[in-house]
Amino acid sequence: MKNGKVYLVGAGPGDAGLITVKGLRAIQKADCIVYDFHINPRLLTYAREDAEFIYAGKRGGHHEMTQDDINRVLVEKAKKGKVVCRLKGGDPFVFGRGGEEAEVLANEGIIFEIIPGISSVIAVPAYAGIPVTHRRVASAFTVITGNEDLSKKERIFTHLRASNSDETMIFLMCVKNLETITDKMINEGLNSKTPSAIIRWGTRPEQKVVTGTISEIAKLAKDHKISPPAILVIGEVVSLREKLNWYERKPLYGQRILITRQLTDDYLKLEELGAELFVFPTINFSPPDDFTELDNSIKNIESYNYIVFPSPRAVNFFFKRFILLGRDVRDLKGVLICVLGQETAHTLKNYGINADIIPDKFNAEAVAELFKKQVIHESPSSIRILYPRSDIALKSFAKAMQNAGVVVDAPETYRTVKPSEHAKRLSRSLMEGKITVATFTSPSSFNNLFEMLKDEVKNVLKDLTIAAIGKTTAKAIEEKGYKVSIIPDRSTIKDMVEAIIIWIKQK
C-alpha cells in the first residue's frame, strides 16, 4: 500500500482563531488527528465526521503517550495510507519536538509537511498587552526554555547580555524553575527592579497575568497560584501592559460558552466580544431510514400550494433528495414557500429561491395562527401544505392545519441521532468550572447532553447560566430540575446571542 502523508501542524497558543488557514485545511482533510492537550478542542470540530482522533496528552508533565509512542503512531498510520494531522500547541518547531517527529518520518521515507503555527512566544505577551519589541524600549528578544537543568554553576545566561535593558527575555515552560531562573538572572547582572510578567493560559478566557519586578515575580506567582502552562516575560516592555492591555477589557472576557449544536456565524459575535466558544454538538443528523413518504411528496410537488420549512436542515435534506430524484426549481412554479427564521431563509436562497413568507414569530403555533388568518378562507380543503420535518419534530403545525380542514403532508425528511463522540473533555471542563454559559436550541440538544453526563457532572451543570432558544426548550430543561436564566423574545440563535450579551453585561 502506498504511504500516506503527515502534516505537522502548529495549532497556535489556545485561541482557536489563531489557527492558520493552511493548518485548518490539514485538519479538514485528515483521516487521523493526533492532538495534544493544549490545543483548543474547537479545532477538532472542523475535522471530518469519520476522522480518527488520538489524544497524545502532553499536559504539564503528565503524558498520555510517550514521544516514542507518538512517533510510532504517526509512522503506522501513514504506512496504512492515511493522511495524518499531528496537531501541536503553538509552533511545532519552537520547543515542540516537531523536529524530532519530522526526523522519524524522514527516516521512514514518509512524506511530511510542516505547517507553522503562531507561537506563544509572541501571541501570549500580545494578548497580555506586552509587545516583545518596541522601538523606544526593546530592540531584540530572546526565547529560552525554562525546563532545563538549572542547578549547574556555569553562567548559563551570559549569552543573553543580562545587563542589557534593551532586550526582552521570554522563558517558556518556566513555572517549576521560576525561582531558580530569576535568582540566576539577578546574580548574573540583571537589575533586580526589571519589570517582569508571568502569564498563564494566555489567549484563553482563563488568562491570568501577574506583574512585578524580577526579584519578586517568583513569590507573586506562588501567591497567585500560577501553574503550567505559563510563560515569563522579562524587560521594560512589561511596563507597557497598563496602557496596551486590550484583551482583558473586552466585555465578554473570561466567558466560555458551550454551544450544543453546529457552529454558525450568528454565534461569532460572542467571540468578537471576548468569549471563547466550546463547541460540542449533542445532535447529529442523517437521512430517514425510509424515503417513501418524502419521495411521494416530491413526485407530487405540483399538487401543493405551500411548502413550510421549519429549519435550515429541513431545507438542505429536502433539496438533496429533491435534486437526486431529478427535480429542479422549475418544478416549484406556483408553490409558495414559508420559512421559519432568517437562517432558514438564507439557506433556501442558496438554492436560488427566495422565501415568500417569513413570519415574525418562529414557532409552529405562531405560523399556524398566521395561516389561519391570512391563508385559509372559504375552502380550506382545497389547500395542500407540505411540511418537511425531522423524526422528532412536534406536529403541532400540521395538526392545527388539519383541524382547520387543510390537507397537510408532513414526511420525515431527516433523523436526529446522538453523536458517537464521548463527553470526556466537556465533562472535565465542566468539573473544572471552565464553562460559564450553556446554550441549548432544542429539547433534544439538552436531553442528549443530559444522558451523556455522569451524575457528578450533572450537578455541576446546575451551577451554570443556562440559555434556551425558546419556551419549549426551556420547559424541557426545567423539567429536569435546572434553572433557565436566559430566554430571548424571539426563538432565533441571533436573538439568543443578543440576550446572552445583555445578561452578561448586566451581571
Residues that are catalytic: 36, 58, 173
- Say which residue the cell 515569563 belongs to: 232
- Say which residue the cell 451523556 belongs to: 452
E strands, 81-162, in order: 83-88, 111-115, 140-145
Asked if 146 and 174 count as a contact pair (C-beta separation under 8 A), the reply is yes
CA distance 262 to 132: 37
10 Å CB burial of residue 54 (0-12, 13-18, 19+) is: middle
Q: What share of the chain is helix, strand, coil (3-state, %, to 5)?
A: 40, 20, 40
Q: How far apart are the first and last CA of the chain?
A: 59
Alpha-carbon Rg for the chain in angstroms: 28
What is the H or E stretch that residue 172 is in? strand 167-172
Take residue 195 and report the three cell numbers written for it: 519589570
Distances from the Cα of 41 to the Cα of 33, 45, 229, angstroms? 12, 7, 16
* Coil, strand or helix at 444: helix
Assign residue 290 a region: left if phi > 0, alpha if psi is -120 to 50, beta otherwise?
beta
Take residue 283 and report the three cell numbers written for it: 445532535
- Say which residue the cell 435546572 belongs to: 482
Instruction: Spell out the SS3 assignment of 196-225.
Output: EEEEECCCCCCCEEEEEECCCHHHHHHHCC
Q: Is the bond preceding residue 229 a cis peptide, omega within 30 degrees?
A: yes
* Coil, strand or helix at 132: coil
Q: What are phi and psi of 344, to 5 degrees?
A: -65, -40
Take residue 264 and report the three cell numbers written for it: 454558525
Take residue 2 and report the three cell numbers written for it: 502506498
Asked if 430 and 267 count as a contact pair (C-beta separation under 8 A), the reply is no
CA distance 137 to 129: 14
